[in-house]
Amino acid sequence: MSNILIIKHGSLGDLIQANGAIQDIKNSFKNSKVLLLTTRAYLELMSACPYIDGVILDKRLPRWNLFYLNDLRKLLAKYKFSHVFDLQNSYRTKFYKKFILKEPVWSSSETSLDENEKLSEFNEDSVLNRIEKQLKKSNVVIKNTKQIDLSWSIRDISRNLKQYTNGDYILVFPFCSKKHIQKKWPYFSELIIKIKESYKNKYPVLVAPGPNEVIEAKKLNAKIVLEDNKPVNLSFLISLINSAKFIISNDTGPAHICSHLNKKGLALFGSHTTAKKVNIGNTNFKTISVNLLSQLKVDEVLKSIRKNLD
């Protein structure tokens, strides 16, 4: 029995989108053990994924930390991987290919290029189209890459929700990473007030902040969802999204979850990218795209919410 390695460090949205590809890789190597190399943030969630046989932690310490890199090389060498599927396609994973995992057959963006095709041209395609092309080049049978199933990660949180609502609720994700502040729509606080006025408090408005977002969440006129007074884990987050009546989000990881769960909702995009390129949006989960998010009016967002929620 051979061992297969998939590398996907993050981010959350990218990892969610990789789940279909992970399933296809597993189905194409049914007699092999498939392991995932990822970061601590996704260790717990992906350990429960039925499409892989184990998760390996990569601390992603600086590349000048030769002691760590040597330990990682020795750890990965024990598995004698026959194939590596690099779904991260980063400078770090290119380094791994050259110095850490030199023996296995590699699948990456660079190995997926057609004759005379440039990597910059390849990267202009949408995320899932690129993953699909990469897997096809490696003779993986494509079935689930674009049909992502997250049902395995959903759990019953009805008891937890009783302290926030006895019925339907609207969920908002007004946050984004500090690295991508351009993705952040600045008027969520005002929107929440108008939602409550418009629907006469019919729907409680909930927010689920991450570890570094609790202080910001307290400034919003919304109910803060926590588990044991701590930010919810990713399985809880996915389940919370799955149970929501409607979701409004920036272009962040939760928006990917909403889209692939086919939830009713709305994602807000500025000029940093397009919904098509990151594969967000469908018949239920709509998108609004503008040049500058700061110019997107609250009433315009509220109008779209009413159109899709009522």
Q: Label residue 133 by pLDDT band (50, 70, 90).
A: very high
Q: Of 231, 290, 233, 240, nearest to 265 (Cα)?
A: 240
166-193 mean pLDDT: 92
Average pLDDT over residues 193-204: 94
Q: Strand 81-86 to strand 223-224: parallel, antiparallel, or no bridges (unpaired)?
A: unpaired
pLDDT score for 81: 97
What percent of the chain lies above the pLDDT cut of 70?
100
- Fold that domain 159-309 belongs to in CATH: Rossmann fold (3.40.50)
- Average pLDDT taken over every residue of the chain: 95
Least confident of 166-180, 244-258, 262-276: 166-180
Q: Is 200 helix (H, G, I), strand (E, B) or coil?
A: coil
Q: How far apart are CA 140 and CA 31, in angstroms?
A: 14
Determine the pLDDT at residue 201: 85
- Rounded to an integer, the average pLDDT of 267-271 is 95
Looking at residue 182, what is its pLDDT?
Answer: 87
% the chain with pLDDT above 90: 91
Can you spell out the DSSP letters for 60-103?
---TT-HHHHHHHHHHHHTT-EEEEEESS--HHHHHHHHHT--S
Q: What is the mean predicted confidence (pLDDT) over 83-89? A: 97
| H helices present in the chain, as ranges | 12-28, 43-47, 66-77, 91-99, 119-122, 127-137, 158-161, 188-198, 214-217, 234-243, 253-260, 298-309
User: Taking residues 59-70, what's their average pLDDT?
Assistant: 96
Mean pLDDT on 251-278: 95
Q: Please tell me if the domain spanning 3-149 has the same topology as the one spanning 159-309.
A: yes
pLDDT given at position 3: 96
What pLDDT shows up at residue 179?
Answer: 81
pLDDT in the model for residue 208: 96
**pLDDT, tens digit (0-9, with 9 covering 90-100), for 22-43:** 999 999 999 999 999 999 999 9
Q: What own/partner pairs with CB < 8 Å and gap ≥ 24 does 279-288 have?
A: 279/17, 279/126, 279/127, 279/128, 279/146, 280/251, 280/255, 280/256, 284/308, 285/247, 285/255, 285/258, 285/259
The mean pLDDT of 59-81, rounded to a whole number, is 96
Best CA proximity match to 278, nearest among 155, 125, 135: 125
* 3-class DSSP state of 150: coil
Band (205; pLDDT cuts 50, 70, 90): very high
The structure's pTM equals 0.94
Q: What pLDDT sits at residue 178?
A: 78
Examine residue 11 and say whether the peptide bond preceding it is cis (omega within 30 degrees of 0).
yes
Domain boundaries, the chain: 3-149, 159-309
With 80 as the cut, is the pLDDT of residue 1 above it? no
- The pLDDT, as a whole number, for residue 180 is 78
- Mean predicted confidence (pLDDT) in 107-128: 93
CATH topology of domain 3-149: Rossmann fold (3.40.50)
Looking at per-residue pLDDT, the higher value among 102 and 242 belongs to 242
pLDDT in the model for residue 270: 93
Alpha-carbon gap, residue 98 to 78, rounded angstroms = 18
